[in-house]
Structures are given as C-alpha cells and as structure tokens.
Structure 1
Amino acid sequence: MGRAESCRWRSVGRNTISVVWSTTKGIVAIAVHHAVEQGLIDLDAPIAKYWPEFACEGKERATVAMILDHSVGVPALRDPVTPGGFADFDYMCGRVACERPLWEPGTRHGYHGHTYAWTVGGLFRRAVGVPLGKYIRSEIAEPLNADFWLGLPAEEHHRGAPMIYPTDPLFGGKSLANHAIENDPAAPFTLMMTNDGGYDCNDSVYWPVEIGSLNGMTNARGLATIYSALANGDLLAPDTVARMGRTSSASHMDATLLMPMRFGLGFMKTTDNRRQPELVDCTLLMSAEAFGHVGFGGSIGFADPGPRMAFAYTMNRMGAGVMVGERAQLLIDATYRALGFSSNSSGAWVHLAK
C-alpha cells in the first residue's frame, strides 16, 4: 500500500498538493523554454545533436520542436512496458529512443500523453546536464516560491492528496477514441491508455520519480504563481513568451485522441469541440493568445499575456475528459468576463466592440 492510501481521509488544507497529470507538461515546457533562453537547447536543432540514440528508425531528422508539439511520432509504445516501468527513467528513455515512429516526424501530430515524459526528459538531461525536476525547482519554483514538484521528496509526502478516479465513461463513451480502445488494440490511443506498466498515480512509489508527462504535484496556488510570472513578464523575455503562445500544430484529427486539437510548443491552445456532442469534457476556451496545459480529470494552469492574467485550477475528484470539465471552464469563463471579455462564440474569448 502506497503512502497515498494512508492519507486518504485527511482534510484538504492550504498546503495540500496532488498529482495534476498532464498539467505537468506545461511546467515542463516552461523549463525547456527557460533552457532555450539560456542557450542550452536549440528548438530547431535535430534531436540527434543532443541524443544520438533517438535518431533511429526514421527519427533521424526529427527536431526538438517536434517533441514539444506532439508531432515527433512516438505517442505510445507498441511492446508491453515492464511492470512498474514508469518508475525507471533510464528504461523508459531507452524505450522511446528505439521506438519506430507511427508516422514521419513533423507530418502530423498525435498527443504524446505518457511518452512526452521521456522524449522531453531524456533530451533535457542530455542537453542541459541535470534532471528536469531539479531544474524546475532551482530555476523556476524556488525563485518564485511556487509549490510545484516533479519528483516529490519523501519528507513532503504527507501533504499529498490521493486522486479519486472518474466513474463516468471516458469522453462520454461515444467518441472515436472510445471506439478505438474497444476495438483496436494497436491504435495509439489504446496503447497510450493501456500500456503503462500498471502505473497508479496514488501509489507513492512513483511520487519521487520524474515523470514529466503526468506526475507533477502541486496545487492551484503553485501553478498560478508560475503562470503569473509568465503573464507579467517576470520569468522569461517577451520574445520567448510570444513564441510559447504561438500555435505550432493543429488539425481536425489528432492522431492519438482522434478529435480536433491545437498545440503550441509544449502547451495547449484554446480548442473548441462544443459542437461535437460525442466529445464530453473535450473543450478548453481561453483567449487566442493564452497558453497552458490541462490534466486528465480537469486540472489546468495557463497564462494570458494580453490581460496579464494567470489561471489555475486543481482538484482530486477527477472528471472524465481530456480537457477541462464544466467545473473549471465555468471559472475560466467568469474570469474572462470579469476582465471585460465579452464572447467565446468564435472558439476563443475576445473583446467585442459595442
């Protein structure tokens, strides 16, 4: 039994933290852009410059940027992950490095829901020379006094709240992704959801491990502190923030999630799937300039440099969508209205002249 089980009935307080699943990806991307600004990583460089072993099986010309915008072509692993494999960083880096891509890198995008941890993490350790979790603490979280951890030390485990998994069908049960997981064991979505070596976010064995796609631990205050520094120009240069907010890949059919998706370099962009009734909790409405990341179950953190606003929401009772659910979106909508934004009918929150 992991430590998470022993604290299941503790009251949630100001210093409680929890796993935020893929909301982790946004903070990891911030660390990458920070390293880019320091001259340690070149987004346009081939991955082979830093990680020769990755440049195989058709990935020889793949670039760093393709990792960040989910177009590098390794959204899942075909062969089974060994039990507990997600706790072994070197093992997982070796697996993604030798994997044959599911498409020619850069030609389409498909959400790298789990493998992002080791495509980004493996590159980062080789290019920068330190683990992502350590870099995030020393260069971002500690200078900002932000309560965010990628690799939670044992002395902090008592603050962790267990996640309550959703009981409703994923995405509402009628999406193309649902059809794939029920009928196509080789589909990228099926592999992503099932080939995880038995990972359980409530097993505290994983909490100290760096899994940069899904096991960051924080609360809304910690996320908002980091994104606020971006939105207000206190962390990275204006050109860097502008690059972070630019859409890099978008299509009507993400190769993994089998739904419309829009990505920046390491971030999600406003994505409107409201007119597709089979996609439940699969919409995220922000302004066109905003960028951030959601996590499985409904957590989110994002920055909007226009109004110099940051937003964050975390919870430990999960929803069943890949984007935010009604709980978070209603709060996002109220925030934009309070800032004078008047409509999201276009798929993004905008000011409309009276």
Structure 2
Amino acid sequence: MSNVASPGDLADLPDGVGGSATAEFAPLARAFAKVFGRRRGAGGALAVHLRGEPLVDIWTGSAGDRPWTQDTGSIVFSATKGVTATVIHRLADRGLLDYEAPMAAYWPEFGQNGKGDITIRQVMTHSAGLGGLNPIAAGLEDVLDHQLMEERLAAAKPDHLLGTPAYHALTFGWLLAGLARAVTGHGMGELFRTEVADPLGIDGIHLGKPPAHASTTYAPLAGTQLSLVGKPISAKVLGASYGLPGALGAAARCLFLPGLETILEGELPPILDTELGAGNGVCTAPALAIMYGALANGGVADGVQYLSPRTIKALSRIRTFRLDRALFYAPMLWHLGYHSLPMPGARGGFGHIGLGGSFGWAEPRLGLSVGFVHNRLSAGQLSFDQASAAWLLPMVMAGLRTTRRAAAVVQTPEAA
C-alpha cells in the first residue's frame, strides 16, 4: 500500500484481517474486524481512497470454503446501479446521448404506450413510472432473460407514479441497458468492461459471474438469503399488496414477484447468469473505490481524464429532493443514477447502497472514495447490515480528520 496520502505509519491489524490501513484508521479496522470477521461462512472487504491513493484496503472472513482475499468479489445487488449509471455517463460524455432528451429519441421502440416524452433523466432518477415487475414478468424465467425484459419495458405503459420518484428496483438496469444497446449495439455486460473496468485498469467490476480468466473470485452468498419471502403466507401477503395505495403497494410492485427469491439459491445462483444492471454486479471493494475515486476527483483516475468536468458537474447534482414512494418515503436525494443520504459522513457525497449494505461512495469535496462489499444475506441481520454505511462512513470521516491533523503537525516548521 502507498502511504502518499497519509503521514502516518501502518496500523497493526486485528487477527483475521488481511491487507493494510494507515494508523489513523486503526479504530475503523478494529470495528470492521469485530462486525465482519465473526460470521460463519461469510466475509467482507473495505477500501478507502483519498485522491486516488489507498488509505485502507482490508478484508476478513471467508468466501465459502476459501479465505477472503483482495481479489474476492461479491454480489453487490443495487450498488450495481452506480456502475450502470457510470456507463451511461461515459456515453453522455462522448455526446452519444443527452440526459434531458426522450429515451425514444435513441431507442424508438421505447416510445410505445405513451412513453414518448419520458426522458433519460426521469429514468435515472427513478421517476419513469416503470418500476413494477408484475406487468412485464410472469416469473423467474422471464427475469433471467434480460433482452426480453428490455423489449417488454419498451412496450410497457407507465403507471400512475410517472414523474414521481418511486424506486425502479430491477427495471432500472433493463431500461438503461436497452438505451445503451440502442446507442452502442452492445449489451450492458460488455459495457461494464469497455466503459468501466478497462479504462480504469481494474478487474474487480463484472456484471454477473466473472469470466474464467478474471482475477476476481466470487464469494458465494452466506445466510438465509430471502427464503422467508417464498413462504406461502409471505407470498400471499406480498401478492395481495400489489393493489394497495401508497408506499406498501409501490414497494411490493417493484420488489416482489412469486418465486423471485429462488434467483439467489445455490452455490452459483441463477442471478449470476444474466445481465441485471440493477442488481447482479460482482465487485471487489478496491474496484468500487477506484471507480468512485474518478467521480470524486474531477473525473480523473490515475492521471487520465475518465469523465469530463462538465459530466462530473451534471452527475454530482441532486436532481430531486422528493421522498421516494417505493422506499417508504425515504429521502434518497436522487442524482443521475446515484443517491446521497442525509446522515453524518454522507450528506455531501453520493454513491449507491445495495441490498445487505454493500456500497460504493464518492465525496468530491474531499477527493474521497469508499468501496465496501460482503457476502452475508440473512433475514435476521438484514436491517443491521443494510445500515452499514451509517456507521462505516462516519468512521471513515473520523479517520480522515485524524489524517489531516497528523499531516498538519508534520508540515509545521516547529515540528521539524
């Protein structure tokens, strides 16, 4: 690890934690080990970069029957959306699309059923009225056919939430994949490689199962996953919720489909065999930190302009302060494909949190980026894990403040 970003020494890491962290982040490393190092069959990794330099790159636990390593990746669920959005920003940066233009200007089939005026911005802020699963998919087989889902969304009719933020939990990925395919002729899986991984020089961001030649190794899911959703009574209640007004109905329509929970079952679950730009990215923590590092540092990564300042300005701006109807009126503060959070350590940044709490984050005011991944998905601990950013990001900020104080002491002439 380079220590260019910090004047301090390296921390003594707790037992069972690999990698390295500067001394100022020792409390974060201890907390990380305590929370993520004691899980049966599970592990996780955390990376913190400042102006592109790693301050923290640690991992702990296991990835199935193997120890977790720097190259271990896990499914990051909705944190995938941040990568998908970055692909779209790369295309916009080259003048291939305009956020304020109608989707149908680039993808003519999308203009069916009254959708001719829906803009790319509306899709990227979850305001297109197309979050529902049940109008476009009958079951798991449909969901796993990503091109079929693109076609059905092109033909779909928007619902009554058109113009209102209402989380497009799965449809977000197919909508932007259809747009990108219309513009480039390539699927989102290939674009993850050509627009994100290759330009940034990383092999830790994949859509679906990493290829055999990749250095990234997949960490199987540990825990109960979503098996409770498939219980007859749960399925009945959720199915009956489709028609309810308000947040409960909106959440059920965008998240629930009978049998969908089986998409996560098995050592290599079916979710890995499709291109789900809203939820099946397999990422390592350092790779997410590198990608968000480009967004946090004026579009520059390793001295190369990855995105223009104009595009960085566009994606950094909060586009809607309205509460999200499908996420129980949560203040998501949607950007173009990312979100901010009104909590300590996150108010000035943006990124995307996924199911179970994995996330990538950028803080442009500081040149800071964070990647966090883990492989536990268990109903009993889901609410705690989902809130991981609520304590990890404040601890990252505390470590950064300590780093700055140490740097100030080193630079003071009297201290020489």
TM-score by length of 2: 0.68
User: Aligned match of 1:229 in 294, 297, 303?
Assistant: 294
Contact 2:209/2:218, CA 8 A, preserved across alignment: no
More helix per residue: 1 or 2?
A: 2
Q: Secondary structure at the match of 1:262?
A: coil
Contact 2:197/2:205, CA 8 A, preserved across alignment: yes
Contact 1:18/1:219, CA 8 A, preserved across alignment: yes
Contact 1:166/1:320, CA 8 A, preserved across alignment: no
Does 1:192 find its partner at 2:251?
Answer: no
Q: Secondary structure at the match of 1:43?
A: coil
Q: Which letter maps to 1:262?
A: L
User: Aligned match of 1:28 in 63, 84, 91?
Assistant: 84
CA RMSD between the two structures: 2.9
**1:184 to partner: Cα distance:** 1.6
Q: Which residue of 1 aligns with 2:351?
A: 292
**1:239 to partner: Cα distance:** 2.2
Q: How does 1:265-276 map to 2 (within 5 A)?
A: 265-272=336-343
Q: Which residue of 2 aligns with 1:155?
A: 212
User: Aligned match of 2:194 in 138, 141, 153?
Assistant: 138
**1:333 to partner: Cα distance:** 0.4
**1:59 to partner: Cα distance:** 1.6
Which digits, 9 at most, give the CA deviation of each residue in 1:34-85, with x for residues without a partner?
1100111111111111122221223221011111000011011334434322
Q: Which residue of 1 aligns with 2:233?
A: none
Does 1:339 find its partner at 2:400?
Answer: yes
More strand per residue: 1 or 2?
A: 2
Rg larger for: 2
Change in 2 beyond 3 A, CA 1:32/1:286:
farther
Contact 2:210/2:218, CA 8 A, preserved across alignment: no
Contact 2:346/2:393, CA 8 A, preserved across alignment: no
Contact 1:293/1:302, CA 8 A, preserved across alignment: yes
Distance 2:140 2:226 in 1: 27
Contact 2:210/2:282, CA 8 A, preserved across alignment: no
Contact 2:133/2:255, CA 8 A, preserved across alignment: no
Does 1:127 find its partner at 2:183?
Answer: yes
Q: Which letter maps to 1:314?
A: V
- Deviating more after overlay: 215-224 vs 92-101: 92-101
Contact 2:84/2:192, CA 8 A, preserved across alignment: yes
Distance 2:308 2:100 in 1: 19
TM-score by length of 1: 0.80
Does 1:112 find its partner at 2:168?
Answer: yes
Contact 1:85/1:197, CA 8 A, preserved across alignment: no
Q: Which residue of 2 aligns with 1:303?
A: 362
Change in 2 beyond 3 A, CA 1:47/1:304:
same
Distance 1:316 1:103 in 2: 36
Distance 2:227 2:212 in 1: 36
**1:166 to partner: Cα distance:** 5.8
Change in 2 beyond 3 A, CA 1:78/1:209:
closer
Distance 1:56 1:22 in 2: 27
Q: Secondary structure at the match of 1:307?
A: coil
Which digits, 9 at most, give the CA deviation of each residue in 1:109-133, with x for residues without a partner?
1000011111111111101222222
Distance 1:236 1:322 in 2: 35
Q: Secondary structure at the match of 1:268?
A: coil
Contact 1:118/1:211, CA 8 A, preserved across alignment: yes
Q: How does 1:209-224 map to 2 (within 5 A)?
A: 209-224=274-289
Identical residues among aligned pairs (%):
30
Q: Secondary structure at the match of 1:62?
A: coil
Contact 2:334/2:340, CA 8 A, preserved across alignment: yes
Q: Which residue of 1 aligns with 2:46?
A: none
In structure 2, stretches of 5+ residues that fail to align are 1-62, 229-236, 244-248, 301-305, 403-416
Q: Secondary structure at the match of 2:371?
A: strand
Q: Which residue of 2 aligns with 1:348?
A: none
Does 1:257 find its partner at 2:323?
Answer: no
Distance 2:178 2:371 in 1: 28
Change in 2 beyond 3 A, CA 1:321/1:241:
farther
Contact 1:47/1:123, CA 8 A, preserved across alignment: yes
Contact 1:148/1:222, CA 8 A, preserved across alignment: yes
Distance 1:104 1:19 in 2: 29
Contact 2:76/2:281, CA 8 A, preserved across alignment: yes
**1:162 to partner: Cα distance:** 1.5
In structure 1, stretches of 5+ residues that fail to align are 1-6, 171-179, 273-284, 342-354
Change in 2 beyond 3 A, CA 1:306/1:71:
same
**1:208 to partner: Cα distance:** 4.1
Change in 2 beyond 3 A, CA 1:269/1:132:
same
Q: Which letter maps to 1:193?
A: L
Distance 2:241 2:208 in 1: 34
Change in 2 beyond 3 A, CA 1:191/1:217:
same
Q: Which residue of 1 aligns with 2:272?
A: 207
Contact 1:43/1:64, CA 8 A, preserved across alignment: yes
Q: Secondary structure at the match of 1:149?
A: strand
User: Aligned match of 2:150 in 78, 81, 93?
Assistant: 93
